[in-house]
Each structure stands twice: as C-alpha cells, then as structure tokens.
Amino acid sequence: MAATFRSRPDPGGNFASDAHRRVMANLANPDDDHISVEDLMVRVERDDFLDLDVDEVVEILADLEADGDATKAKKGWKNTKAGWDALTGPTIEDGGRKHGE
C-alpha cells in the first residue's frame, strides 16, 4: 500500500490505518447485502479524506478480511460482526480492541 495512507494512523487505534477505518465505514453492515468493489469505489471517491485507487482499496479489503473485520462473497464485501463492533464501539483509550489483538 502507498505510504501516504499507511502512515496516517487510525485515530481510535482499532484499525491498521485511518484509510482502513474509512473503507470499513463505507462497507455494508453485517446484516445488509454485500457491496461490490465498484459501488464501494463510488463511496470512497466521495470521501474527501481518502485518495485511493481501486488497487489500494482492494488491498485494504484484503487486510480487513485477514484481520477478520470484513468478509468477501461472490457479490462483494461487507463488515463482519467483529469489524462492525470495532468500527462502532469504543476506541482503545475507552477500552476497545487494539488493532492486531
């Protein structure tokens, strides 16, 4: 991944980077239908704090899947329950999980 977003940490400490957290925020919720990479890119491109191309987003999705935060299906991607809880739950300072644990 490009150092430009790898080097910016997630402010809450729950994800590998702020870009990972922001991509998570644009994924479908665990109880919703999966979202395609194409539809996700439309959302990502609207985020003024992200400047990612499709290859970088796919790499972030793979990271999120490896961490157990996102799941891939034939129709696309969505948050796992654990990923959703990390996204919407407390930061590490408030007792939330630390990335990688």
- Digit-coded pLDDT (tens) for 61-100: 999 999 999 999 999 999 999 999 999 987 777 776 666 6
Residues written for the chain:
101
Q: Where along the chain do its domains lie? A: 16-92
Count Cβ atoms below 10 Å from residue 76 Cβ, excluding itself.
Answer: 18
SS3 70: strand
What CATH number does domain 16-92 carry, 1.10.287.3510, 1.10.10.10, 1.20.120.530, 3.40.50.300? 1.10.10.10
**For residue range 7-19, what is the model confidence (pLDDT) as tens digits?**
588 888 888 899 9
pTM of the model: 0.86
**For residue range 20-33, what is the model confidence (pLDDT) as tens digits?**
999 999 999 999 99
Q: How far apart are the first and last CA of the chain?
A: 21
